[in-house]
Structure 1
């Protein structure tokens, strides 16, 4: 087998922290090829490799990588399904990897740290790593996560997500009657069935509403949403998380007075000790 060309020397700085990278691809040869290239790059540590979306979600929680090289096309949960299942607070930087140069690449360029076409080009990989280093130095992961969520909305067919919350007193009254959360999306109003709403988390100036089968993104604040939801059903369990109490099936203690809540969909969320008063609602 021919040896891989050497990766061009990346831009690095003395004392620079190593980049913790996670590789996610269902093709073993593709994972191996990217592994060999990253191993030659200065200041990169490969902390794990996954062959499917479910394993990647677990690895992100367990390993807390700085960046995830994510294959877009995978059987089962593809790259976008994988992103939807990762809470905003745990989202690493993402470099998309794809074999298809199609319309979505325009969105990748606008919303991702970078994207790589298969077979991965060494110079492009070096450029992607430089972008990752710059982003980590700026600590702008919250902005990046908001960009990813905006991308997911576009790929779901919603168009550019410049969303504003649209609840006024009349809509709030309707919400109580109809069991709906009413939000404005572009020029239209969307009603979200509250029974289908699993949890909400924050990503910069955006709120990510995790609903059965999809994720909806709003430009709003956590406090605004909290005021519009019934506190007997939706509890603030972290400064950046609201959960539907009816979807919680298990609670287990963690360190320092914190706990983990498991939802009926398998998602785990942290109950911080600052919100331990919500335990009474959970027990009820």
Structure 2
């Protein structure tokens, strides 16, 4: 799943591009903003894979290039603007793509494909989850879990229930979104607002006529039933 943010100071343009991105099975818009300050906050909070940025963010406000000058994190950026004359500068700054308004669906599709390829290349050189550990606080003590011991993370309000491959469950006082920011591995896939699964623990997927799926994870006595949207996200991930 390609997680993106959309930054544009014009609400109609921001909403339209967000809808177009969310219509793609392999894309999830995790946040939107109207300024560079909001863009920086979104990057820090959600750690997305990519950002769609307008260049002109209003008179007297920092333009889209400001974040490229200030940011050193490995995010991809796509500029979205009504002006063609900034393209050379955008690619000189390492932009993944440059879209002209009004954005055509076919052109956006090519930009998303390019982002997905760049995401795969980046993850291909990243370490796997087998030797990685995560620290959690349980009953006042810190425990260290191997990521490959985690079958699923499930949101429960301000808490997250950690399902382990050996059948044990741990309720942790930490939101699911915090786990998502801390754990960045291809094996861990957020398929819905409330569930992240460790794809390496999938043992079987059973489809039904209604479009739902029953996903059996290693060490879990009951399969996870997911709806059509989550099933599409899982299929989009598997094609990656």
With the shorter chain as reference, the TM-score category is 0.3 to 0.5
Higher helix share: 1
The TM-score with structure 2 as length reference comes to: 0.48
Q: Which structure is richer in relative contact order (CA contacts within 8 A, separation 6 or more)?
A: 2
The TM-score with structure 1 as length reference comes to: 0.41
Greater radius of gyration (CA): 1
